[in-house]
Amino acid sequence: MDNPISLNQNIAKESTSNIMDVHKKGTELFIGNLSLETVESDLLQLFSDCGKVIEVRIHRQIHVKKCYAFVRFQNKDHMRNALDKNGVTLKGRKLKITKSNENSTIFIGNIRKNWINEEVEIKVKRIVN
């Protein structure tokens, strides 16, 4: 099972207007082939000379020994700078760094098989509102 870890300490320190920057399209990178021991500070240090990192989301799939991350930058220039790090070694692993295929899709699991779309929509609206 995918076990996401989202550490958004940088966001909490920003003003409300800057929080909206987190959702700018074209500012996120996919970081593949990470060591399972990789933590947020490792990625922040790796990209410290590229520009401002807004968000780091690390995903671990322990049962298949797979770890990857999504790193969002303040702007596209900072993201482009970070692309130059493709192929660098971190914790003994050669990283694969590419532009993220950003989308607006949300995965929702453990939905009862007998629920219809309207029931799922009602449940989601209760959570969001």
For the chain, give the mean pLDDT.
82
Give me the sign of the Cα torsion angle 29, 35, 40, 43.
negative
Q: Which of 14-18, 91-95, 105-109, 121-125 has the lowest mean pLDDT?
A: 14-18
Confidence (pLDDT) at 117: 86
Question: What is the spatial distance between Cα 3 and Cα 66, in angstroms, rounded to a whole number?
Answer: 11
In CATH terms, the fold of domain 3-101 is Alpha-Beta Plaits (3.30.70)
The pLDDT tens digits for 3-28 are 444 444 333 334 334 444 446 788 99
Nearest to 7 by CA among 66, 78, 60, 64: 60
Nearest to 5 by CA among 75, 63, 61, 50: 61
Q: What is the pTM of this model?
A: 0.66
Domain segments of the chain as ranges: 3-101
The pLDDT tens digits for 53-68 are 999 999 999 889 999 9
CA angle 50, 68, 14 (to 5 degrees): 50
The average pLDDT across 31-47 equals 97
Question: What is the spatial distance between Cα 21 and Cα 11, in angstroms, rounded to a whole number?
Answer: 10
Confidence (pLDDT) at 102: 73
**Residue 95 near residue 87, CB atoms below 8 Å:** yes
